[in-house]
């Protein structure tokens, strides 16, 4: 778990993945889970893992995106 607030729970995974062209890279997934109109919603972002700063950067983006999603619904 990376963060929790009154809007959602945010969690992340770092995994080594192989690209279609055979390169191995570290990928980062940051997900958020929330309730919107009584429905459980998972919102997932994927990107390249590039150290601790990339986790915070993607978490910040995920929180902003989720705020917009909740406001639109």
The per-residue pLDDT for 9 is 98
The per-residue pLDDT for 55 is 96
Which segments of 1-73 does DSSP mark as H helices, in order?
A: 52-72
The per-residue pLDDT for 63 is 97
The per-residue pLDDT for 47 is 94
In contact, 12 and 32? CB cutoff 8 Å: no
The per-residue pLDDT for 73 is 93
Q: How far apart are CA 10 and CA 4, in angstroms?
A: 6
The per-residue pLDDT for 42 is 96
CA distances from 26 to 16, 22, 23, 57, 65 (A): 4, 13, 10, 16, 23
pLDDT in tens, 23-62: 999 999 999 999 999 999 999 999 999 999 999 999 999 9
The per-residue pLDDT for 11 is 97
């Amino acid at each position: 778990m990376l963060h929790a607030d009154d809007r959602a729970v945010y969690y992340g995974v770092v995994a080594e993945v192989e690209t279609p062209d055979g390169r191995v890279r570290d990928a980062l997934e940051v997900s958020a889970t929330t309730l919107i109109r009584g429905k459980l919603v998972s919102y997932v972002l994927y990107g390249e893992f590039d150290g601790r700063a990339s986790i915070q950067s993607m978490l910040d983006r995920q929180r902003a995106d989720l705020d917009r999603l909740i406001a639109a619904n």
